[in-house]
């Protein structure tokens, strides 16, 4: 590979103009001719032709180099790991690519393609476009292909620049099996949604949509990996009105928007268990209230009966006491009455006695 215009001229001179002179030398050796004269004539003639061709070659290349301006860009505008990236080299100032001039691609100091021949055909391929462009395709882009210096060469003109990535031209969305998970806090029954993104770039903005309301995710933990990616942990509480059958949507915007499926099995199971526990608790509470009410009623009835019995017992005791007192007083009255009657009888007998005797005497 030539390092400059002088190398190219020497190469042309040696290969195109001195070949015949070397042949003349060999002929003179074997024929014993006038070697010096023949060589001088050959060189003189060939040098004259050389000057003409070199001047033409140099003038043509100078004109092309002066007016040619090489630059390269990439497409598509968004780079993603595993996809195909194209580097498009454009030569301004010409109408079409000259197949006789050098076309070369390098990555850092590594030659990856020369005049349409890639070093690794499974990884690279050059396509010569119509007009003033030629393209290098890089298949199955990986992290090692990014943040590197690429050089496009056409003839003696080159452009070298770094394939820079940023949040505007590179994204690594979540894996296809990523799920947002709904879980229930058993202590208060509140529903929350959590999302774990393991290897993403750039930092996304994620939103929960349910019942026409958008709720932004809160980033609770952000880790910058050793490579270019992030680990992101997000979480947010759902409204109290959220039900198990509600249609929840999660979207995350990197450069474009991606939909993340929502796993609600845990929510439904926990919520069902929570509902069952609540029903059991309510049933136990009602049963306890009924038992307490029955016990209170039985206690009240027993107390009421006891008080009633005590009242009746007190009443009977009073009655008995009253009767005893009545009986005692009546007995005393009867004894007095009896004594007074007896005394009356005796008095009558004494008074009647004198009158009976005389009568008896009289009868005699």
pLDDT tens digits, residue range 304-354?
Answer: 888 777 777 776 666 666 655 655 555 545 555 455 545 555 555 554 444
Residue 15 has pLDDT above 60, yes or no: no
In this predicted model, which residue has the larger pLDDT, 153 or 264? 153
Indicate the SS3 state at residue 169: coil
Residue 234 located in a structural domain: yes
Cα separation of 298 and 306, whole Å? 12
Residue 363 located in a structural domain: no
**Which of 204, 171, 184, 192 shows the shortest CA–CA distance to 82?**
171
Whether 145 and 152 have beta carbons less than 8 Å apart is answered as: no
Q: How confident is the model at residue 164 (pLDDT cuts 50, 70, 90)?
A: very high
Whether 79 and 165 have beta carbons less than 8 Å apart is answered as: yes
67, 85, 106 — which closes off a domain?
Answer: 67
- The partner residues of 194 in beta bridges, in order of sequence, read 181, 235
Whether 184 and 274 have beta carbons less than 8 Å apart is answered as: yes
Host domain of residue 12: 5-67
Residue 208 located in a structural domain: yes
Tell me the pLDDT tens digit for each residue of 190-231: 788 899 999 999 999 999 998 778 999 999 999 999 889 999
Question: Do 63 and 76 share a domain, yes or no?
Answer: no
Burial class (CB in 10 A: 0-12, 13-18, 19+), 106: middle
Question: Do 200 and 256 share a domain, yes or no?
Answer: yes
Question: Do 51 and 117 share a domain, yes or no?
Answer: no
pLDDT of residue 25: 47
Cα separation of 86 and 245, whole Å? 46
pLDDT of residue 328: 56
Question: Do 60 and 74 share a domain, yes or no?
Answer: no
Residue 315 located in a structural domain: yes
Residue 168 located in a structural domain: no
Question: Do 198 and 251 share a domain, yes or no?
Answer: yes
Whether 208 and 252 have beta carbons less than 8 Å apart is answered as: no
Question: Do 54 and 76 share a domain, yes or no?
Answer: no
Question: Do 54 and 111 share a domain, yes or no?
Answer: no
Question: Do 187 and 255 share a domain, yes or no?
Answer: yes
Domain containing 95 — which CATH number? 2.60.40.10
CA distances from residue 201 to 167, 227, 229 in whole angstroms, order as listed? 7, 11, 5
pLDDT of residue 144: 94
Residue 183 has pLDDT above 50, yes or no: yes
Residue 84 has pLDDT above 50, yes or no: yes
Cα separation of 13 and 3, whole Å? 16
Question: Do 222 and 253 share a domain, yes or no?
Answer: yes
263, 297, 314 — which closes off a domain?
Answer: 263
Cα separation of 240 and 210, whole Å? 12
pLDDT of residue 133: 95
Question: Do 241 and 184 share a domain, yes or no?
Answer: yes
Residue 204 located in a structural domain: yes
Q: Is the pTM of the predicted complex or chain greater than 0.85?
A: no
The residue-averaged pLDDT of 107-114 equals: 96
Cα separation of 245 and 266, whole Å? 12
Question: Do 87 and 118 share a domain, yes or no?
Answer: yes
Residue 31 has pLDDT above 60, yes or no: no
Indicate the SS3 state at residue 96: coil
Considering its fold, how many domains does the chain have in total? 4
pLDDT of residue 22: 44
Query: Encoding tokens for residue 23?
Result: 């042949």
Other C-beta atoms within 10 Å of 280: how many? 10
Cα separation of 108 and 148, whole Å? 7
Cα separation of 200 and 232, whole Å? 8
Question: Do 63 and 75 share a domain, yes or no?
Answer: no
Residue 194 located in a structural domain: yes
pLDDT of residue 239: 79
Whether 135 and 113 have beta carbons less than 8 Å apart is answered as: no
67, 85, 118 — which closes off a domain?
Answer: 67
Residue 103 located in a structural domain: yes
Mean of the per-residue pLDDT values for the chain?
76
Residue with token string 């004594």: 339
Cα separation of 343 and 349, whole Å? 10
Residue 13 per-residue DSSP state? I
Side-chain half-sphere CA neighbours of 264 within 13 A: 16
Cα 49 off chain centre by: 75
pLDDT of residue 335: 54
Query: Encoding tokens for residue 135?
Result: 């393209």
């Amino acid at each position: 590979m030539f390092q400059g215009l002088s190398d190219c001229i020497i190469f042309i001179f040696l290969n195109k103009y001195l070949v015949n002179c070397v042949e003349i030398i060999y002929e003179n050796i074997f024929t014993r001719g006038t070697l010096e004269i023949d060589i001088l004539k050959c060189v003189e003639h060939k040098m004259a032709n050389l000057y003409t061709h070199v001047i033409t070659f140099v003038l043509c290349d100078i004109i092309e180099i002066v007016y040619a301006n090489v630059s390269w860009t990439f497409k598509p505008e968004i780079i993603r790991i595993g996809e195909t990236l194209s580097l498009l080299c454009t030569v301004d100032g010409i109408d079409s690519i000259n197949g006789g001039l050098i076309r070369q691609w390098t990555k850092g100091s590594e030659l990856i393609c020369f005049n349409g021949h890639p070093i690794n055909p499974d990884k690279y391929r050059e396509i010569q476009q119509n007009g003033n462009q030629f393209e290098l395709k890089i298949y199955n882009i990986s992290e090692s292909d990014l943040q590197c210096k690429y050089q496009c060469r056409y003839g003696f003109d080159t452009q070298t620049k770094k394939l820079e990535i940023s949040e505007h031209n590179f994204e690594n969305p979540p894996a296809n099996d990523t799920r947002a998970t709904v879980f229930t806090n058993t202590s208060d029954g509140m529903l929350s949604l959590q999302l774990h993104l393991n290897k993403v770039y750039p930092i996304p903005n994620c939103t929960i949509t349910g019942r026409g309301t958008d709720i932004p995710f809160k980033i609770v933990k952000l880790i910058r990996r050793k490579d270019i990616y992030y680990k992101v942990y997000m979480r947010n509480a759902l409204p109290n009105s959220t039900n198990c059958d509600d249609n929840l949507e999660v979207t995350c915007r990197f450069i474009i928007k991606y939909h993340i499926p929502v796993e609600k099995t845990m929510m439904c199971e926990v919520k069902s268990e929570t509902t069952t526990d609540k029903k059991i608790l309510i049933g136990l509470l009602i049963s306890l209230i009924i038992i307490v009410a029955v016990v209170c009623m039985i206690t009240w009835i027993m107390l009421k009966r006891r008080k009633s019995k005590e009242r009746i017992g007190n009443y009977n005791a009073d009655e008995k006491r009253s009767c005893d007192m009545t009986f005692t007083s009546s007995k005393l009255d009867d004894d007095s009455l009896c004594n007074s009657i007896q005394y009356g009888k005796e008095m009558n007998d004494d008074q009647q006695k004198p009158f009976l005797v005389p009568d008896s005497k009289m009868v005699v």
